[in-house]
Homo-oligomer: A and B are copies of this chain.
Protein backbone atom coordinates (compact mmCIF):
# COMPACT_ATOMS: atom_id res chain seq x y z
CA UNK A 1 0.00 0.00 0.00
CA UNK A 2 0.78 3.70 -0.31
CA UNK A 3 4.53 3.82 -0.48
CA UNK A 4 4.57 7.54 -0.91
CA UNK A 5 7.11 8.18 -3.50
CA UNK A 6 6.16 11.44 -5.13
CA UNK A 7 3.55 10.90 -7.85
CA UNK A 8 4.43 12.22 -11.29
CA UNK A 9 2.12 14.88 -12.63
CA UNK A 10 1.80 12.81 -15.81
CA UNK A 11 0.45 9.91 -13.78
CA UNK A 12 -2.39 12.05 -12.45
CA UNK A 13 -3.40 13.11 -15.93
CA UNK A 14 -3.46 9.52 -17.10
CA UNK A 15 -5.49 8.32 -14.11
CA UNK A 16 -8.20 10.71 -15.17
CA UNK A 17 -8.22 9.10 -18.61
CA UNK A 18 -8.22 5.55 -17.24
CA UNK A 19 -11.19 6.51 -15.11
CA UNK A 20 -13.12 7.76 -18.10
CA UNK A 21 -12.48 4.53 -19.98
CA UNK A 22 -13.33 2.36 -17.00
CA UNK A 23 -16.59 4.21 -16.53
CA UNK A 24 -17.44 3.42 -20.11
CA UNK A 25 -16.43 -0.23 -19.79
CA UNK A 26 -18.50 -0.56 -16.64
CA UNK A 27 -21.52 0.83 -18.45
CA UNK A 28 -20.95 -1.72 -21.20
CA UNK A 29 -20.91 -4.54 -18.68
CA UNK A 30 -17.22 -5.46 -18.94
CA UNK A 31 -16.19 -6.97 -15.63
CA UNK A 32 -12.46 -7.62 -15.89
CA UNK A 33 -9.71 -5.98 -17.91
CA UNK A 34 -5.95 -6.53 -18.18
CA UNK A 35 -3.40 -3.73 -18.19
CA UNK A 36 -2.61 -4.65 -21.80
CA UNK A 37 -6.20 -4.23 -22.95
CA UNK A 38 -6.69 -1.00 -21.03
CA UNK A 39 -3.38 0.29 -22.38
CA UNK A 40 -4.53 -0.42 -25.88
CA UNK A 41 -7.73 1.57 -25.44
CA UNK A 42 -5.95 4.49 -23.80
CA UNK A 43 -3.05 4.49 -26.21
CA UNK A 44 -0.33 4.01 -23.61
CA UNK A 45 2.13 1.32 -22.54
CA UNK A 46 0.83 -1.49 -20.30
CA UNK A 47 3.71 -1.24 -17.84
CA UNK A 48 2.90 2.45 -17.58
CA UNK A 49 -0.59 1.69 -16.33
CA UNK A 50 0.62 -0.84 -13.78
CA UNK A 51 3.29 1.56 -12.54
CA UNK A 52 0.82 4.45 -12.34
CA UNK A 53 -1.46 2.36 -10.16
CA UNK A 54 1.27 1.19 -7.79
CA UNK A 55 1.77 4.77 -6.62
CA UNK A 56 -1.54 4.35 -4.82
CA UNK A 57 -1.79 0.67 -3.98
CA UNK A 58 -2.26 -2.80 -5.44
CA UNK A 59 -5.51 -3.04 -7.31
CA UNK A 60 -5.07 -6.04 -9.60
CA UNK A 61 -5.17 -9.80 -9.37
CA UNK A 62 -2.19 -11.67 -10.78
CA UNK A 63 -3.04 -13.92 -13.66
CA UNK A 64 -6.41 -12.20 -14.05
CA UNK A 65 -6.32 -8.45 -14.39
CA UNK A 66 -8.40 -5.72 -12.76
CA UNK A 67 -12.06 -5.75 -11.80
CA UNK A 68 -13.44 -2.84 -13.79
CA UNK A 69 -15.95 -1.67 -11.22
CA UNK A 70 -13.51 -1.80 -8.32
CA UNK A 71 -10.71 -0.11 -10.20
CA UNK A 72 -13.04 2.61 -11.35
CA UNK A 73 -14.11 3.22 -7.79
CA UNK A 74 -10.55 3.18 -6.45
CA UNK A 75 -9.25 5.64 -9.01
CA UNK A 76 -12.15 7.99 -8.35
CA UNK A 77 -11.24 7.92 -4.70
CA UNK A 78 -7.56 8.50 -5.35
CA UNK A 79 -8.35 11.54 -7.49
CA UNK A 80 -10.76 12.95 -4.92
CA UNK A 81 -13.68 12.59 -7.31
CA UNK A 82 -15.96 10.60 -5.03
CA UNK A 83 -18.10 13.64 -4.39
CA UNK A 84 -19.70 16.32 -6.54
CA UNK A 85 -18.16 19.81 -6.62
CA UNK A 86 -19.88 23.16 -6.98
CA UNK A 87 -18.48 25.49 -9.61
CA UNK A 88 -18.87 29.21 -10.26
CA UNK A 89 -18.58 30.79 -13.67
CA UNK A 90 -16.80 34.15 -13.75
CA UNK A 91 -17.48 36.08 -16.94
CA UNK A 92 -20.71 35.52 -18.84
CA UNK A 93 -19.66 35.58 -22.49
CA UNK A 94 -20.12 33.08 -25.27
CA UNK A 95 -17.56 30.67 -23.96
CA UNK A 96 -18.80 30.90 -20.40
CA UNK A 97 -22.38 30.26 -21.41
CA UNK A 98 -21.34 27.25 -23.47
CA UNK A 99 -19.29 25.75 -20.68
CA UNK A 100 -22.08 26.27 -18.16
CA UNK A 101 -24.42 24.22 -20.30
CA UNK A 102 -21.91 21.53 -21.24
CA UNK A 103 -23.50 18.25 -20.25
CA UNK A 104 -20.27 16.40 -19.65
CA UNK A 105 -19.35 18.50 -16.65
CA UNK A 106 -22.53 17.65 -14.86
CA UNK A 107 -22.16 13.97 -15.75
CA UNK A 108 -18.71 13.91 -14.24
CA UNK A 109 -19.67 15.50 -10.98
CA UNK A 110 -19.25 19.23 -11.57
CA UNK A 111 -22.27 21.44 -10.82
CA UNK A 112 -22.35 24.96 -12.17
CA UNK A 113 -24.36 26.69 -9.48
CA UNK A 114 -23.80 30.40 -10.11
CA UNK A 115 -22.45 32.80 -12.70
CA UNK A 116 -20.96 36.25 -12.16
CA UNK A 117 -20.33 39.30 -14.30
CA UNK A 118 -19.48 42.97 -13.83
CA UNK A 119 -21.83 44.00 -16.63
CA UNK A 120 -25.18 45.00 -15.02
CA UNK A 121 -27.04 44.12 -18.22
CA UNK A 122 -26.06 40.49 -17.78
CA UNK A 123 -26.96 40.30 -14.12
CA UNK A 124 -30.40 39.28 -12.90
CA UNK A 125 -31.90 36.85 -15.32
CA UNK A 126 -30.66 33.26 -15.44
CA UNK A 127 -28.59 31.67 -18.19
CA UNK A 128 -30.37 29.34 -20.65
CA UNK A 129 -29.07 26.49 -18.54
CA UNK A 130 -30.97 27.91 -15.57
CA UNK A 131 -27.99 29.21 -13.64
CA UNK A 132 -28.51 32.60 -11.96
CA UNK A 133 -26.20 35.50 -12.81
CA UNK A 134 -24.97 37.70 -9.96
CA UNK A 135 -22.86 40.85 -9.87
CA UNK A 136 -19.23 39.94 -9.34
CA UNK A 137 -19.27 41.94 -6.12
CA UNK A 138 -21.58 39.31 -4.60
CA UNK A 139 -19.10 36.50 -5.19
CA UNK A 140 -17.90 36.04 -1.61
CA UNK A 141 -21.44 35.88 -0.23
CA UNK A 142 -22.83 33.55 -2.86
CA UNK A 143 -19.75 31.32 -2.80
CA UNK A 144 -20.01 30.82 0.94
CA UNK A 145 -23.72 30.12 0.86
CA UNK A 146 -23.46 27.61 -2.00
CA UNK A 147 -20.24 25.92 -0.99
CA UNK A 148 -18.46 26.80 -4.22
CA UNK A 149 -15.04 25.15 -4.48
CA UNK A 150 -13.96 25.92 -8.03
CA UNK A 151 -14.14 29.02 -10.22
CA UNK A 152 -13.85 29.00 -13.93
CA UNK A 153 -12.69 32.27 -15.42
CA UNK A 154 -13.91 33.17 -18.89
CA UNK A 155 -13.51 36.93 -18.76
CA UNK A 156 -11.57 38.92 -21.37
CA UNK A 157 -7.82 38.90 -20.80
CA UNK A 158 -7.74 42.37 -19.21
CA UNK A 159 -10.31 41.45 -16.58
CA UNK A 160 -8.88 38.05 -15.63
CA UNK A 161 -6.44 39.11 -12.92
CA UNK A 162 -9.04 41.28 -11.19
CA UNK A 163 -11.53 38.43 -11.33
CA UNK A 164 -8.95 36.02 -9.93
CA UNK A 165 -8.29 38.38 -7.02
CA UNK A 166 -11.98 38.40 -6.17
CA UNK A 167 -12.13 34.62 -6.44
CA UNK A 168 -9.26 34.22 -4.01
CA UNK A 169 -10.75 36.78 -1.66
CA UNK A 170 -13.97 34.76 -1.68
CA UNK A 171 -12.04 31.79 -0.32
CA UNK A 172 -12.18 29.68 -3.47
CA UNK A 173 -8.99 27.70 -3.90
CA UNK A 174 -9.28 26.16 -7.35
CA UNK A 175 -9.31 28.11 -10.61
CA UNK A 176 -9.64 26.96 -14.18
CA UNK A 177 -8.48 29.89 -16.27
CA UNK A 178 -9.67 30.17 -19.87
CA UNK A 179 -8.53 33.77 -20.28
CA UNK A 180 -5.39 34.05 -22.40
CA UNK A 181 -3.17 35.49 -19.68
CA UNK A 182 -1.09 34.09 -16.87
CA UNK A 183 -2.77 35.02 -13.58
CA UNK A 184 -0.97 35.49 -10.30
CA UNK A 185 -2.33 34.01 -7.06
CA UNK A 186 -1.05 33.05 -3.63
CA UNK A 187 0.57 29.65 -3.14
CA UNK A 188 -2.40 27.99 -1.50
CA UNK A 189 -4.58 28.55 -4.57
CA UNK A 190 -4.28 26.17 -7.50
CA UNK A 191 -4.68 27.51 -11.03
CA UNK A 192 -4.95 25.48 -14.20
CA UNK A 193 -4.68 27.38 -17.44
CA UNK A 194 -6.57 26.11 -20.46
CA UNK A 195 -5.28 27.75 -23.58
CA UNK A 196 -7.29 26.80 -26.62
CA UNK A 197 -5.21 28.83 -29.05
CA UNK A 198 -2.07 27.05 -27.94
CA UNK A 199 -3.71 23.76 -28.86
CA UNK A 200 -4.30 25.06 -32.36
CA UNK A 201 -0.70 26.26 -32.63
CA UNK A 202 0.55 22.87 -31.58
CA UNK A 203 -1.58 21.13 -34.15
CA UNK A 204 -0.35 23.44 -36.91
CA UNK A 205 3.25 22.81 -35.97
CA UNK A 206 2.80 19.09 -36.30
CA UNK A 207 0.99 19.47 -39.58
CA UNK A 208 3.33 21.81 -41.37
CA UNK A 209 6.48 22.79 -39.60
CA UNK A 210 7.83 19.38 -38.72
CA UNK A 211 10.82 18.58 -40.88
CA UNK A 212 11.25 14.82 -41.56
Residues on A lying within 8 angstroms of B by beta carbon are 4, 12-13, 16-17, 19-20, 41-43, 78-81, 85, 94-95, 97-99, 101-102, 104-105, 108, 110, 149-150, 173-176, 180, 182, 190, 192, 194-209, 211
Contact = CB atoms under 8 A, between A and B. Distances in A.
A25 to B, nearest CB: 13
Contacts of A41: 182
Contacts of A206: 12, 174, 190
Contacts of A12: 202, 205-206
B196 A104 contact: yes
A144 to B, nearest CB: 17
B79 A200 contact: no
A41 B185 CA distance: 14
Given A199-B194, A201-B79, A204-B80, A95 B102 contact: yes
Contacts of A79: 201, 204-205, 209
B209 A78 contact: yes
Given A97-B98, A182-B43, A196-B102, A81 B204 contact: yes
Given A4-B211, A104-B180, A207-B173, A202 B95 contact: no
